[in-house]
Structure 1
Amino acid sequence: MTRAVSTARMTLDSAFVVAEVSPRLFGSFVEHLGRCVYTGIHEPGHPAADETGLRGDVLGLIRELGVTTVRYPGGNFVSGYRWEDSVGPVERRPRRLDPAWRSTEPNRFGLAEYVAFLRRIGPQAEPMMALNLGTRGVTEALELLEYANHPAGSELSDRRVAHGDKAPYGIRLWCLGNELDGPWQTGHKTAAEYGRLAAETARAMRQFDPELELVACGSSNRGMPTFAAWEATVLAETYDLVDYVSLHAYYEELDGDRDSFLASAADMESFIESVVATCDHVGARLKSAKRIGLSFDEWNVWYQSKWREQAEADPLDWPEAPRLLEDNYSVVDAVVFGSLLIALLRHADRVGVACLAQLVNVIAPIMTEPGGPAWRQTTFHPFAQAARYARGGQVLHVAAESPTHETGKYGEVPLLYATAVRDPESGAVTVFAVNRDQRRPLPLEVVLHGLAVSEVVEHSALADADPEARNTLADPDRVVPHPVPGTTLRDGTLSAVLEPLSWNVIRLS
């Protein structure tokens, strides 16, 4: 039951900074799954494709989105991945069956194409390479590392040079496998088995290059029966060898419980805080001064229940680049998505990497049609705005009072969910706020202390009279952020009204 509508209030103070926002918080994820790669980012013969087959229209949207780190090549796909298949002359690369998604992988897009793709995005795009620790191990990890990063003069580095890439790829950030706690994962392991293998791999990689940054697999989701115990066991083996532990979380509306869905960020915050507590407990037991960071390298809204129903009804028979997981996102989904971004920003002191899963076509902010156009989903806009106005800023501590309402899954939650980021150079402040109330606008007052801002540059909202409105091939701009009139800044107090069920960006200079 929603309490009577009243004004939500926040206080922001320049002296209370949570952390600086890492550029890596705006990462994404490209997996060999469905049409993410083929007819997504790579489609030779498309009118917008360049000489390498990369779609220029998609590259333009990725740059607009503001993506930084890009995790590759999986995901579940990586646990059966043979990196050697993805290098060298394309016409000589083998076709392989991928059991993770029951598809055929042609290997037309591989390691060199991935690096070239990142370079086309721009200098902000950083590789994040996942290693196969499901069916392979230390030897293959070291071989891939040598091929990718050693300048020249060894068999594997000279092989890269012969393949056309004289300069090393310089991959600094590596994932030690993917979701190996999950029984669905090829090469599934116990925590003790994985912890030992991850430690051996990390130790060997650091002998090659001690400056690498390494991510250990955390739980596939917090609902796993081994959650927290998995992290504790793995970190007991790897604490001094890795820099991050991973988190994965997806959210969907179930059983018509929209209020709980809109409060998904409450679960994400609790998940983050639980993993932080586990990491710090292990550090205390080891008497270590080191602080493990968090890599939230898979997150999104994903209607997994629909996918499971479809998979059971029509199991795939090894097609190439099938249409899989192509969720079409509504206004409601975009508001939840925006709240997840807020949760990540509010924990920027520990979340150093985050990857939206995925980038194109597969539960993605960008959709394409083979031979046709590319367009923005509703979720594109919150990500692009947060990347544009929060990257490199300082997250301010938010002290908020808000009317609340009851949810079936998370109990009482505030209707206002917000954060704020200050640009340390210009002093500009951006408030990111969600109104979770489905029916009523929410008045907002923000008291500003020690912040040299005097003008409202913009208040935009993503909202619609139809909460199910979506962007489609036929109507790609049905839902876009719109300006909100009447927002003022007087005598150090910002006054605004947040539309029902809305994602808001308020910029102050």
Structure 2
Amino acid sequence: MGSAKLTLDPAFEVGPVERRLFGSFVEHMGRCVYTGVFEPGHPEADGDGLRRDVIELTREMGVTAVRYPGGNFVSNYDWEDGVGPSADRPTRLDLAWRQIETNAFGLGEFMTWLREVDAEPVMAVNLGTRGVRAARDLLEYTNFPGGTRWSDLRIKHGTREPYGIKVWCLGNEMDGPWQIGGKTAEEYGRLALETAKAMRRVDPSIELVACGSSNPHMPTFGSWEATVLEHCYDQVDYISTHAYYDAVGGDRASFLASAVQMERQIHDVISTADHVAAKLGSRKRLKLSFDEWNVWSQSLFGGEQSLDWEQAPRIIEEDYDVAGAAVVGSLLITLLNNADRVGIACQAQLANVIAPIRTEPGGPAWRQTIFHPFALTAAHARGRVLRVQATAPNMPTEEFGEVPVLAAAATLDDERRLSVFAVNRGDEPLPLEIDLRGLPRGTDISHITVADADTAARNTEREPRRVEPRALDGAVIDGDRLKAVLPPISFNVLKAQLG
């Protein structure tokens, strides 16, 4: 297959590593909440019904931010149903996923769980069936110190200090025909503007995310963002984007090259936002919130119409293999390489539903293959993202044409610890040479890989450690060159302590 080369120079960087790039997503969908993060009576549950095994795995994964409560769920959700004594909460029909929602888990439980995993909330408000008033009231409940109707209700519910939630999503996928209370771009842009204005009067310090188009395949993609932002550009800090990458809907090579689509999408949305800034004469630059992304074989899902009314059903519980882990690794690499404009990213979802963590009711929790590239990147991506100049052999794909077999990113922190993240998309070992020009001589070289001779290998309840990160020998520094060999279809971290 040939070999690949990278050139790194500390004078050329993308920007700081944004910690919010390592976000996740907890939605009231399937078993993400119930029997996922929350299962009273489970042997591992604490006094609040939170599964300690899932908490520990979430900490290990390095999750820094969690979007909640949806997703499609939020567009038919009354937040008041999820606060106060659990026994007093109503059971509702969730129209998004045709589920029976008990509301046993709500805002208070979520915030308690977040403190345990040491992550930041990214809260979504209902702009489908509700609007300005409900969003304003929720913000008063969470962030106002006291002495008003909603802040005093929070205190009555047992939380004296404000939650201080900073990041708020103004609805979810509002251009989707599946969305409860969907809107045209004009309707949503005006609603987002008025909601943002009201919320900022309650708490001027918050950061707001306007909904971009639901995915890059929507007929509204691009024009939606332009119209929405012409209304609310000055009132928001981020524009959202979502994408899922299908492992079975096309050829394998195109799936392995999914990050090419993510890269294009990021550039398209940012270009549209910058166009609106130019049109408005604004010097402000929005960042992107990629607050739903993952591998999901959507072509196998029959849609919400195919679901029966159930409580916490088993839906979209994807089993991930080594190839899926390599793709997730390449998506994380893409997010790092765009850290100057992507400020938030949330992998969807955390537990059971297209998730890195799987659980069984009353039983164990385990790491799926895609857990590992996320955990490794969150642990080792520190400091600044360096610009990577790469050359590598190409591989043919049906969707993207010729695509390099190598995807790579690099970070360097203030203690001169270099981390290189690399995915080999090819079916053969890939020799890699990294030119460290301008960097001090390195020592303590290590190479960690997520790979397997069987790229269809998965972690299961019976074999939860079938695929795990493992150390490889052979990585060396020869002069100002770092050399290693990347296994076929693999995610890799090369680390060096520079002098």
Q: Shorter-chain-normalised TM-score: which range?
A: over 0.9
The code of the aligned residue for 2:430 comes to L
AA aligned opposite 1:441: P
Cα shift at 1:155: 1.1
Tell me how far apart the structure 2 counterparts of residues 406 and 232 of structure 1 sit (CA, whole Å). 34
1:200 equivalent to 2:200? Answer no
Question: Share of identical aligned residues, percent?
Answer: 60
Contact 2:170–2:192 at 8 Å: present in 1 too?
Answer: yes
Q: Is the CA contact 2:16–2:384 (under 8 Å) kept in the aligned structure 1? A: yes
Q: 1:251-290, aligned counterparts within 5 Å?
A: 251-255=245-249, 257-290=251-284
The equivalent residue for 1:303 is: 297
**Corresponding residue for residue 415 of structure 1:** 405
Partners of 1:339 and 1:358 lie apart in 2 by: 18
- Structure 1: state its 5+ residue gaps: none
TM-score (norm 2): 0.98
For residues 329-340 of structure 1, the aligned pairs below 5 Å read 329-340=320-331
Structure 1 residue 254: Cα displacement = 3.3
Give the structure 1 partner of residue 468 of structure 2. Answer: 480
SS at match of 1:197: helix
Query: Deviation digits for residues 365-424 of structure 1, max 9, x if unmatched?
Result: 00000001100000000000000011x421000011111121100011101110101112
2:363 maps to 1:369: no
Deviations 1:291-342 (CA, angstroms, capped at 9, x unpaired): 0000000000001111227x66xx3332110011100100010001100000
Rounded to whole Å, the distance in 1 between the matches of 2:302 and 2:14 is 39
Segments of structure 2 that go 5 or more residues without pairing to the other structure are: none
Instruction: Note if contact 1:456-1:487 (Cα within 8 Å) is conserved in structure 2.
Output: no
- Secondary structure of 1:273's match? helix
Task: Provide, for residues 409-458 of structure 1, a one-character-per-residue CA deviation record: whole Å limited to 9, x for no partner.
Answer: 0011101110101112x1110000011112x1111100002222412431
Query: 2: CA distance between counterparts of 1:488 and 1:456?
Result: 9
Corresponding residue of 2:436:
448
Counterpart pick for 1:463 among 451, 465, 474: 451
Matched residue count: 497
**How far off is 1:255 after superposition?**
5.0
**C-alpha separation between the residues in 2 aligned to 1:376 and 1:154?**
44
- The 5 Å alignment of 1:92-241 reads 92-122=88-118, 125-241=119-235
| Match for residue 404 of structure 1 among 370, 378, 394 | 394
d(CA) in 1 for partners of 2:358, 2:224: 36
User: In the alignment, is residue 319 of structure 1 matched against residue 310 of structure 2?
Assistant: yes
Tell me the secondary structure at the aligned position of residue 471 of structure 1.
coil
Matched with 2:351 is 360
- The answer as to whether partners of 2:209 and 2:238 remain within 8 angstroms in 1 is yes
Structure 1 counterpart of 2:57, from 55, 61, 74: 61
Q: 2:444 & 2:275 partners in 1: Cα distance?
A: 44
Structure 2 SS opposite 1:418: strand
8 Å contact 1:46–1:371 — kept in the other structure?
A: yes
2:372 equivalent in structure 1: 381
The letter for the 1-side match of 2:390 is: A
2:383 alignment counterpart: 393
How far apart in 2 are the matches of 1:204 and 1:358?
A: 30
Letter in 1 for 2:455: P
- Separation (CA, whole Å) in 1 of partners of 2:494 and 2:27: 34
| Cα RMSD after superposing both structures | 1.0
Alignment partners' CA distance in 2, 1:500 and 1:366: 25
Determine the C-alpha separation between the residues in 1 that align with 2:150 and 2:326: 47
Aligned-partner Cα distance in 2 for 1:325–1:334 = 17
Q: Displacement, 1:252?
A: 1.1
